[in-house]
Structure 1
Amino acid sequence: MKVLIVEDEQLAADTLESMLLELNSEIEILDKIDSVKKAVKWLSENEADLLFLDIHLADGKSFSIFEKVDIKTPIIFTTAYDQYAIKAFKLNSIAYLLKPIDEEELEEALEKYESLKTSSSGVDVASILRAIDQKEAAFQKRFMVTTGEKIRSILIEEVAYFMGEDKYLYLITKDNKKYIIDSTLTKLEQLLDPERFFRINRKFTISFDSIKEMVAYSKSRVKVELEPPAPYDLEAIVSVDRSGSFKKWLNR
């Protein structure tokens, strides 16, 4: 299996390469490309069996590649925060992986490729672009919480961040109220508007509004000072594998 990786974060590209070779030592990584321009040139002159394609590249969305090159290669999309495009990917039989990539999901995607590689179905880019550009995605707007016998519904605009601690998930409001909710940070990634919320590590998913200050941290990470402050003096530090995507998110 000859694979091309189009990914503008070097760490993410290297990690994906390592995971692929660990799953199948016979995979050949033909190249790792970091921009739309380079991808267009490479695909105009070469062929691969499978293409891993990041959606947001340094010089634009990777969908613009399809406007310049007729691609018949099966594609597995990778994305950090385009959850609202997932439905379009499914409808068009396109495999997708949310970053940071999970090894089991990667293995399932490769198995799907093996089962579908003889198919001649193409990529319906128009449908995907409609999903990407839609203005009113069905993201969660309220969370029901309980305090004793009282029940209330909290608007998403009131939420500062979500925090996982001791097997519980807490919703922290902007006025510094804390509630337990029945969910996980992983599930929330499918429910929250990625324009507003970002999961920075295994413990925190924060809203843009909750960021009070940011400072550079070791290993290219970012330390975020939250408002209201995180309880228990927990530090909100963007993990290494999410730092590149986080900086893109800030710069959208």
Structure 2
Amino acid sequence: MKKIMNIKPTKPLAAFLSLLPFVIIFFVYLTASGERLAENPNDKLLPSFQQIYSAIDRLAFTENKRTGEYLFWQDTSASLYRICIGIGISSLLGLIVGLLTGLIPLARSGLSPLVTFVSLVPPMAILPILFISFGLGELAKVMLIIIGTAPVMMRDMQSHVRQLPAEQLIKAQTLGASTWLVSLRVILPQILPRLLSSMRLSLGAAWLFLIAAEAIAAQEGLGYRIFLVRRYMSMDVIFPYVIWITLLAFLMDYLLRKTSEKAFPWYHSNESGK
């Protein structure tokens, strides 16, 4: 008799099991919402799917009378711009600083303690400082994402560089490769897939910092809209926005994973073999 830890589900069963929790959540919500609305038709905690649909239609497919824009897509565009800029700069800094501190002992001695210190600073604690220093515009929001994610990427890249086999570096130097050539031809190709993995792991934190910054000081954005309507207990708006943020994060993670699999198949074949 097989042990349960050795039983692998078939593809149909795996698909069914992956969908089952969502189906259960759907029916639990449907039942709870129906019961609350039957007791109090004005209840706002668990809106019906009709109310949620009406809110989505109003925000996403109806022009705002004051601005003439579609608020849902305007908020989405603003938030995506901020998070893409923040994650992009963080990944670039993580790659450069991680490569330097991982390969060059002098750089590691000078920068590694600072990177470690900054990575332990709670980003939310310095949010007021960012708003005072950079104002209430886009820069402060992007800087919060960078401060919250870049140091973690730097440490991850440094660790990965230092874990590379020393024999590779020695052989490259024996063949006459300079430090620049070793970085470019030996180390960089091996840490790029790790960088994409680090970006994927940082997405959750990046969205958290973005929503927090938008909630405090913004005129548009997904986080701004959620905290704007919370005073009215507009759960028919909050629920779709939260689900949409989750879907956007999932899509970004999926695109990064597929990019990594296409560009670096050898890295994922090694992962699957472990």
Name whichever structure is richer in helix by fraction. Answer: 2
Name whichever structure is richer in strand by fraction. Answer: 1
Q: Which of the two has higher C-alpha Rg? A: 2
- So what's the TM-score if we normalise by structure 1? 0.22
- So what's the TM-score if we normalise by structure 2? 0.21
